[in-house]
Structure 1
Amino acid sequence: MCPPGSSPVTVTRVNVASSVFLANIPSPDRGVWELGPIPIRAYALCIIAGIIVAIWWGERRWVTRGGTPGTVIDIAVFAVPFGLIGGRLYHVITDHHRYFGGDANPIDALKIWDGGLGIWGAIALGGVGAWIGCRAKKVPLPVFADAIAPGVVAAQAIGRLGNYFNQELYGASTDLPWGLEIYRRINEAGAEDNLNGVAVNHIPIDVVHPTFLYELLWNLGVVALVVWADRRFRLGHGRAFALYVAGYTAGRTWIELMRTDPATQVLGTRVNVWVSILVFVGGLAYLVLAKWRGPREDLAAIQGNVSPDAGTGEAVPEPEKPDEAEAPEDAAAGSEDEKTAEPPAKAESETTEEKADEKTAEETDESAEAASGRPDEKPDESADTPGESDEPGEKSADDTEKEPSSQSRPES
C-alpha cells in the first residue's frame, strides 16, 4: 500500500522517468551474419562504408577547389590498399603478443576481417600510396591531403561502429546512464568469442564506458572544425590535414587512457598515448609553420593545362591558339597590297576624263577661229588640177615645188 498522503500516479511517473533516464546502451547480439558459406561482418562493412564516404567527399572537395574530376578516385587506388596494409602492420607490431609466442597462431595476423587496424599505420603507409598516386597524376600531395582531410576523419568515425559490433575497445566499468552493456557471446564451438560469437542472452555481464562512442563523437567534432576552419581561413599547403591530425590526436590521447583492453606499454603508459602526443605536436607545428608558405594553392592553375576528354575521361591537351603576333603583320601586308593595286573603276574614270578634256580643247579652238573672222574653208574642188589657184597672182603649192629656184643656180 502507498503511504498516507502519497499519490500512486506520482510514484509511477517518477519510476518510469528514472528507468528511461538510466537506460544503458545495449550491445548488438552479434557482429557476423552468415549468408550461406559467406560471412558478412559488420566491422568490414563499416570500414568499406567509411572508405566510400572519404573518397566521395574528397572528390567533391577536389572539384570544388578547381581540380580535375576523377583525380581523388585515381589516387585512392594506391592509397587505400597501402592504408589497409599499414593499419594491419601497426596493429600486429604493437599487439604482437596476440599473434606470436605461446599458444598464438601467426596466421591470425593475416585475418584482417577479425578486426585490428591501427590508424597510425593506416595514415603513414596510406600516405605513401597517396604520394605515389599524386606523382602519377602530377599534383602536390599537400593539396590532395587538404581535400580529403574531413572525409578521412569521418571515415574513422564510421569505422568505430565496427568496434561496437565486435564488442571491443571499451573502457572501465561505469554507472553512467550511457554505459555500454557487454553480453556473453559464444561461438559454434561453445567458446566465448566476442568477434564471431552470438549473445546467449541480454543480461549484461558488465556495463562499461563506450570509448568507441566517445571517439566517434569526437571525430565528428573534428570534421566540423576542419570544414569551418577551411572555409574561414582558406587553409592550404596541407594545413587542413594538419588540423585534422592535431584535432584527432588531442582527443585520442585522453580516450586511449580510458581503455582497458590489453595493449603494449611504454614507461607504464599505453603506446598509442605516446604516439598520439608526438603526432599532435608534429601536426600542430606544421599547422603553424605552413602558414608562411602563402595562400591556398590554385588547383585550376595546377591542372589548368589539360582538360578531361568527355569520352574517355583522359586528359588531353587543349587546342593551340593562333599566333596573335602574326595576325597584324598579315593584315598590314594585305593593306599595302590593296593600296598599290589600282581599282579598275578608278582607271576607267580617269580615261573618260581625259577624253572629255580633249573634246573641250577642240571646241575651244573652233570658238577661237570663229572669233577671228576667218570663214570656214570650203573643200577645194580643183585640188586635182595642177597649176591653178583659188585667187589670181597666187601660185599653187604644187607649182612652187615644181619650179626650180633661181637663187640656187650658180652664175656662169
Structure 2
Amino acid sequence: MVTEILANIPSPPQGVWYLGPIPIRAYALCIITGIIVALTLTLRRYKARGGDTDMVWDAAIVAIPAGIIGGRMYHVITDHDSYFGPGKDPWQVFNFSAGGLGIMGAVALGTLAVWGLFKYRNVPLAPFADSVGPTIILAQAIGRLGNYFNQELYGRPTDVPWALDIFYRVDENGNFAPLTGRSTGEIVTSVHPTFLYEMIWNVAAFAFLLWAERRFRLGHGRVFVLYIASYTLGRIFMELMRDDAANTIFGLRVNLVVSSVIFIASTVAFFLMRRGRENPGEVDPRGIAEKRKPEADGHAADADMQDVDPGTNAPARGDVKNPHKQKR
C-alpha cells in the first residue's frame, strides 16, 4: 500500500504565486510558452516554404486574441449551466482568471481570423496552414501542463501506480480554493492523469505529422487537416476516461460528441482533398520575390519561385503551379 502511494504522481501544492499583488499563474505561463514555441517553429517552417515571415507575426496578432475569445465562447456555450440560471452570475463569463478555455473553439475562431487575414492580403493560406498545424499540437502539449498545476481535466478515480493525487487546497482564510489556494496535504482522490495522457498523445501526434508530411509529401492544407484529425482522435479517448460534471448530448459528453464529429469530417476531408503531383511546398512567391531583385533575363526570379521542400531550404523537384508566376 505504501509503495503504491509513493508511486503516485503528486499534484503541485499550488498553481498561483504572488509577486506582491501580481498573481503569477502557472497555467498562463504554460500557454505563453506553448505560443512562443509554436511561433518559433512556424517561422522556420513557413520560411522553408518561401513564405514571408512577416505574415506569421501578422497571423499571430489576429489568431491569439481570436483564439482566446473563441476558446472562452466554446467553454461558456458547452458549460452554460455554470454561468446562467438561478443563483448564477452571468458576468463571470468575462472572468478569464477563473479558468475555462475550450481548445476546439480557440482553433476554430483563430483559424477563421487567420483565413480572413490571408484573404485580405491575397496570400495563399494552405502553405501557412501546413506550416502551423504541427506546431499547434505541440503548443497544446505544453499547455496541458497548466492543467496539472490547476488540478483539472483529470480522469476517473484509479489505483494504478501512476495515479494523480488531487490535493485539497484552501485560500488564506481556510476556504476551499482549488485553483488559487495552497495544498493542505490532504489527498482528496487519486485519478487517471488524463492531462498527461493527452500531452503524450499530442507530442506523438507532432512527430507523426512531421513524418507523414515528409513520407507522403503532403501539402495543399492536408497537413493541417491531418492535425485536426489527429488531435480529435486523441481527445475522443480522453473524454471516454473522464467522469467529471459536463453537459451532455444524447447522454454523451459534449466534447466527446464534438470531437467525434470533427474527427470524422476531417478524416473524410483529408482523403478528398487535392493531392496534386506537384511538390507540396506551395511557395508564396511574394515571400521571397519581393525581397530579391530579379535579374534582367528573369532567370533569378524563376529560381526564387521554385518550390521548396517544407523540411529544408533546398529547392525541391518540379515547380509549383503558381498563379502569381508570370509567363515568359
Q: Which runs of 5+ in 2 are unaligned?
A: 299-328
User: Cα–Cα, structure 1 residues 209 and 49, in superposed 2: closer, same or farther, change >3 Å?
Assistant: same
Q: What is the deviation of 1:319? A: 6.3
Q: CA deviation digits over 1:96-153, x for unaligned, max 9? A: 1111123222222112222211111111100111112223443222221100011100
1:13-412 to 2 correspondences below 5 Å: 19=3, 23-201=7-185, 203-295=186-278, 296-299=280-283, 301=285, 303-307=287-291, 318=293, 321=296
Amino acid at match of 1:276: S
CA distance in 1, matches of 2:54, 2:89: 42
CA distance in 1, matches of 2:39, 2:120: 18
SS of aligned partner of 1:183: strand
Q: CA deviation digits over 1:34-87, x for unaligned, max 9? A: 111110111111111111111111111011122223321121111111111000
Q: Identity of paired residues, percent?
A: 49
CA distance in 1, matches of 2:129, 2:297: 38
SS of aligned partner of 2:267: helix
SS of aligned partner of 1:299: coil
Does the 8 A contact of 1:43 with 1:113 survive in 2?
no
Does the 8 A contact of 1:181 with 1:204 survive in 2?
yes
TM-score for both structures, normalised by structure 2: 0.85
Q: CA deviation digits over 1:350-369, x for unaligned, max 9? A: xxxxxxxxxxxxxxxxxxxx
Higher Cα Rg: structure 1 or 2? 1
Q: What is the deviation of 1:158? A: 0.9
CA distance in 2, matches of 1:41, 1:129: 27
Does the 8 A contact of 1:78 with 1:132 survive in 2?
no
SS of aligned partner of 2:13: coil
What is the aligned residue count?
298
Does the 8 A contact of 1:76 with 1:133 survive in 2?
no
Does the 8 A contact of 2:4 with 2:161 survive in 1?
no
Q: What is the deviation of 1:230? A: 0.8
Q: What is the deviation of 1:300? A: 5.4
Does the 8 A contact of 1:154 with 1:223 survive in 2?
yes
Greater RCO, CA 8 A, separation 6+? 2
CA distance in 1, matches of 2:30, 2:98: 13
CA distance in 1, matches of 2:182, 2:287: 53
User: Cα–Cα, structure 1 residues 255 and 32, in superposed 2: closer, same or farther, change >3 Å?
Assistant: same
Query: Which stretch of the first structure deviates more once superposed, 100-109 or 270-279?
Result: 100-109
Does the 8 A contact of 2:220 with 2:282 survive in 1?
no
SS of aligned partner of 2:53: coil
CA distance in 2, matches of 1:72, 1:156: 18
Query: Which stretch of the first structure deviates more once superposed, 132-141 or 244-253?
Result: 132-141
CA distance in 2, matches of 1:237, 1:170: 36
Indicate the residue corresponding to 1:10 in structure 2: none
Amino acid at match of 1:125: L
Cα RMSD of the aligned pairs, angstroms, is 2.2
SS of aligned partner of 2:9: coil
Q: What is the deviation of 1:322? A: 7.3
Q: Which runs of 5+ in 1 are unaligned?
A: 1-14, 309-317, 324-412
SS of aligned partner of 2:10: coil
Does the 8 A contact of 1:80 with 1:129 survive in 2?
no
Does the 8 A contact of 1:184 with 1:192 survive in 2?
yes
SS of aligned partner of 1:200: strand
Q: What is the deviation of 1:19? A: 2.6
CA distance in 2, matches of 1:252, 1:153: 12
SS of aligned partner of 2:43: helix
CA distance in 2, matches of 1:21, 1:229: 41
User: Cα–Cα, structure 1 residues 154 and 322, in superposed 2: closer, same or farther, change >3 Å?
Assistant: closer
